[in-house]
Amino acid sequence: MSAFSTPHTIDDPLEEGRIEQVLDWLSNAASSDPADELRLLHGHLRSLSEAAVSASQFDRILDMFFARVQRITPELKLRLRQATLPLSRPLRQIAHQLSEAHRLMAEGYERMLNDVEQRKTRNPRRSPVRIAGRALRAVADQLEVTTLAAAPTTGGLWNMAHRLYLESRRERARCGFNDDVRPDPESCYREMLLLAAIQPDSLAAPELTLAADYLRRLTDLVPVGFDAAPAADRTAFWIDPEGDAPPTPTARRGAPGEGVGMLQFSTTHVADAINEHLLALERGISPEEAGLPDEAADPSYPALLRRLHQHLADPAKRQLPRRRNNYRVRLCIGIDALWRRLAQAPLPGEVQPASSDWMVLNESPSGYALMHVAGHLDALRHGAVVGVQAADGDPWQVCVIRWLSSENPEHVEIGLQLLSPAARPVQVAFHNGGEGKPAPALLLKPVPALRRGPTLLVAAGTCRSRRFVLISDGERLYVTQGRVQGMELQTACAEMFQYAADPYPT
């Protein structure tokens, strides 16, 4: 149900005073501090939602709010992108107010849309497609903000998105004079679908922002309709237009009723475009020539594109059942901290790396879902390496954080992918045109079902060439030269690769 009052003529002096305050604020220059501007905007937007105003006045005021929200959103998203999780209270307040502002904007435009439908009015300014485009832009921004904050998706968000998209489709089928409207409702809706399809809770905030900006360039490659993807398509997704859920890959679960009445889309063309961009970067083509942003010059950008390609070309299907559980484990967060624990060698002046206590919610042979109980969370981030120890004296299992959810600073849940049941601390030095400085690495215990040969786990950016020297300082010093055979995992925090002894050491 919309938070906005039904529009009618103002005849209450109190209502007039409330609207005058809103208009006075909108007529003034924006605050130089986006957070302060957001606080005031959020309050005045709520005042508008509670006021009884005429439809024409409401339309004009809401458009003024839309412009203000669009101006401050990029700067506030940047703050969320640069923050670590769980968010501090001030940043969580910013995320909540920004999400609420976008929600109120979307509800306001949906009210406008319903009013236009009832009055049967049609003109460029009150075009249902234009109104739906602004509403869907607000919904898409709300989705991105809540994902950046690792917060649960607001109830009703997806249901509203589906309604607005279908209404814009119906209106475009009736008339075509507004096909070039911006924001385009279909583009905004496809943007949301792609964001959901890449499993955004598995991406760190900087990665999520880069991914969202990149995928906006490819929305035209996502055909959406009631018969847009064949059932046998591995990259097909289905959507219940009456439900309140994101798209579901058919590889994970088939559509009910054999897909009758379900919206569908395929990510094949997007995956092909990502692959072409990857090939261009591998051939040394500049980001500008490849049609990519400047950030594509960073070595981590191709790794992000490979992960997006994996999600869209081959949507994950859960292979192993999860078992509910309820026991405590200890976590050591960060590859350096885990390395020092395994090596029992804290740096000079340091104590043993701190650990934190977590409760196992469920587990499978491939990983865990955990809830934080006590201890520090300073290094908690998507893609971070963690060690899991069930009891004193047990080996440290090596995992990587796959998703993270935080409803508030006191409640944090994470999903872990198990990489190895144990590891040995070693050092590696890569050949990069000079003497490579030894870096900490974890030599993972062989798991025949998962990988063929010996595997190393290092911090992101460590692997700079094919050849390296491995140093193991156990009971006796062991030095050998190795050659990278294939990268198995790349996140914002870590790289995992198989290697073999180099037959031609240099």
| 308 and 453 together in one domain | no
Reported confidence tier of residue 351, pLDDT bands at 50, 70, 90: low
Q: Considering the domain boundaries, does residue 5 fall inside one?
A: no
| CATH at 365 | 2.40.10.220
pLDDT tens for each residue of 74-95: 999 999 998 888 888 899 999 9
> Does 451 reside within a domain?
yes
Percentage of residues of the chain with pLDDT beyond 70: 89
Q: Are 335 and 494 in contact (CB under 8 A)?
A: yes
Residue 3 resides in a domain = no
Predicted pLDDT of residue 473: 84
Higher pLDDT: 181 or 153? It is: 153
Q: Label the pairing between strands 248-249 and 494-501.
A: unpaired
DSSP state of 293: -
Does residue 217 surpass a pLDDT of 80? Answer: yes
Highest mean pLDDT, choosing among 128-132, 187-191, 334-338, 428-432: 187-191
Residue 184 clears pLDDT 90, i.e. is over it: yes
Residues 166 and 255 in one domain: no
Are 405 and 481 in the same domain? no
- pLDDT at residue 10, as a whole number: 47
Q: Are residues 73 and 104 in the same domain?
A: yes
Q: What number is the average pLDDT over the span 232-237?
A: 84
Please say if the pLDDT value at position 177 is more than 70: no
124 plus 174 within the same structural domain? yes
Q: Above 90 in pLDDT, residue 266?
A: yes
Alpha carbon distance 229, 264 (integer Å): 6
What pLDDT, on a 0 to 100 scale, did the predictor assign at position 222? 94
Residues 35 and 179 in one domain: yes
Q: Which residue's structure tokens are 């904050």?
A: 149
Does position 124 have pLDDT exceeding 70, yes or no?
no
Domain stops at, among 387, 420, 453: 420
Q: Which two tokens stand for residue 88?
A: 């501090």
Say if residue 422's pLDDT is above 70.
yes
Q: Do both 287 and 340 map to the same domain? A: no
Q: How far apart are CA 108 and CA 297, in angstroms?
A: 41
Q: Are residues 382 and 447 in the same domain?
A: no
The pLDDT value given to residue 214: 96
Q: Is 392 inside any structural domain?
A: yes
Could you read off the pLDDT of 26-52 as tens digits, one per residue? 998 888 999 999 999 999 998 888 877
Average pLDDT over residues 421-426: 94
Arithmetic mean of pLDDT over the chain: 87
Q: Is residue 7 part of a domain?
A: no
Global confidence as pTM? 0.85
User: Is 452 inside any structural domain?
Assistant: yes
Query: Looking at the predicted structure, is the pLDDT value of residue 113 above 50?
Result: yes
Q: Is the pLDDT of residue 116 over 50?
A: yes
DSSP for 24-81, please give it: HHHHSPPPSSHHHHHHHHHHHHHHHHHS---HHHHHHHHHHHHHHHHHHHHHHHHHHH
Number of H helices, E strands in the chain: 12, 17
**Cα–Cα distance list, 154 to 76, 144, 271, 327 (Å):** 19, 11, 29, 30
Residues 23 and 148 in one domain: yes
Nearest-CA neighbor of 426 among 345, 332, 333, 354? 345
Is residue 412 domain-shared with residue 441, that is, in the same domain? no
**Total domain count, the chain:** 4
Residue 340 has pLDDT above 80, yes or no: yes
* Pairing verdict, β 248-249 and 236-239: antiparallel
> Is 4 inside a domain boundary?
no
pLDDT higher than 50, residue 264: yes
Between the alpha carbon of residue 189 and those of residues 1, 165, 235, 272, the distances in Å are 21, 7, 18, 21
Q: How far apart are CA 409 and CA 432, in angstroms?
A: 42
Q: What is the DSSP code (8-state) at residue 17?
A: H
State mean pLDDT over 348-353: 61
pLDDT range class, residue 446, cuts 50, 70, 90 = confident
Q: Which of 185-194, 361-370, 424-433, 466-475 has the highest mean pLDDT?
A: 185-194
For residue 85, give Cα distances in angstroms to 51, 149, 373, 374, 376: 37, 8, 16, 15, 12
Give the helix, strand, coil percentages of the chain, each rounded to 5: 40, 20, 35
Residue 359: pLDDT over 70 = yes
Residue 176 has pLDDT above 60, yes or no: no
Model confidence at 178, pLDDT cuts 50, 70, 90, reads: low
The whole-angstrom separation of Cα 356 and Cα 374 is 6
Say which range, 51-65, 140-154, 192-206, 326-340, has the weakest mean pLDDT.
51-65
86 plus 167 within the same structural domain: yes
Same domain, 368 and 352: yes
Domain of residue 107: give its range: 13-183
What pLDDT is stored for residue 416 in this prediction? 95
pLDDT band at 445 (very low <50, low <70, confident <90, very high): confident
Domain boundary among 299, 317, 335: 317
| C-alpha to C-alpha distance for 123 and 130, rounded to whole angstroms | 10
Interval 340-362 mean pLDDT: 79
